């Protein structure tokens, strides 16, 4: 559609210093992911401003960009991807091994795709954060010596990630599940900890 040999979506790291590719199309095939520094690249210009295009000689304008040199890139179009708060979270790039015929058309097409790409990248970022939080909490919970009851929006004791003793504070698990959270907190403060009289 835009005649580029390489197109990729990249995720910006938290420090805004590197890009990690999410998806790369290389001459019609899916390519292995890459990670690269933004220093001395046209992608830095994109992240710091807006859509950028270099119809020809981008490899000479950015001689330290090893990716451009290795692939023999002449033309470049890049557009930043933003989250809902307008914070840059990634980049959508098209690379050409020959001078570009119509840079404005390429920019317009990338702008259209950038809307959906931004939404998908933001969703992916949230999913990664949720997964990391769950892994951290699972690690914390697995090291608890006491049982743990979890209250959430679905009601009391909806999940019990750690083994819960059959009785706690003189109450059976079945009774504990039926108790009001505030009442249970009062009971818990009066309950002796394991190993104490």
Give me 68's structure tokens: 């451009």
pLDDT per position as a tens digit, 77-129: 999 999 888 899 999 999 999 999 999 999 999 999 998 888 888 888 778 78
Map out the domains of the chain with their CATH numbers. Answer: 6-138 (3.30.450.40), 150-190 (no CATH)
- Least Cα distance to 76 among 47, 108, 98 occurs for 98
> What's this model's pTM, rounded to 2 decimal places?
0.67
Give the whole-angstrom CA distance, residue 7 versus residue 13. Answer: 19
Number of CB atoms found within 10 A of residue 20's CB: 13
Question: CA dihedral in degrees (177, 179, 185, 186; nearest 10)?
Answer: -140
What does the block give as tokens for 44?
Answer: 């830095």
The span from the CA of 6 to the CA of 9, in Å, is: 10
């Amino acid at each position: 559609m835009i005649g580029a040999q390489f197109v990729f979506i990249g995720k910006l790291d938290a420090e805004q210093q590197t890009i990690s590719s999410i998806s790369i199309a290389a001459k019609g095939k899916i390519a292995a992911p890459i990670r690269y520094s933004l220093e001395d690249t046209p992608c830095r210009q994109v992240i710091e401003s807006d859509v950028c295009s270099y119809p020809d000689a981008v490899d000479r304008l950015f001689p330290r960009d090893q990716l451009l040199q290795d692939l023999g890139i002449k033309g470049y179009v890049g557009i930043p991807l933003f989250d809902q708060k307008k914070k840059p979270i990634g980049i959508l790039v098209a690379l050409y091994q020959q001078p570009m015929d119509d840079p404005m058309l390429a920019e317009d097409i990338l702008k259209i795709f950038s809307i959906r790409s931004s939404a998908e990248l933001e969703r992916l970022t949230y999913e990664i954060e949720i997964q990391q939080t769950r892994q951290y909490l699972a690690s914390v919970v697995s090291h608890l010596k006491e049982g743990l009851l979890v209250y959430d929006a679905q009601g009391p004791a909806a999940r019990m990630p750690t083994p819960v003793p059959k009785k706690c504070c003189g109450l059976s698990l079945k009774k504990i599940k039926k108790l009001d959270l505030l009442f249970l907190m009062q009971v818990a403060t009066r309950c002796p900890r394991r190993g104490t009289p």
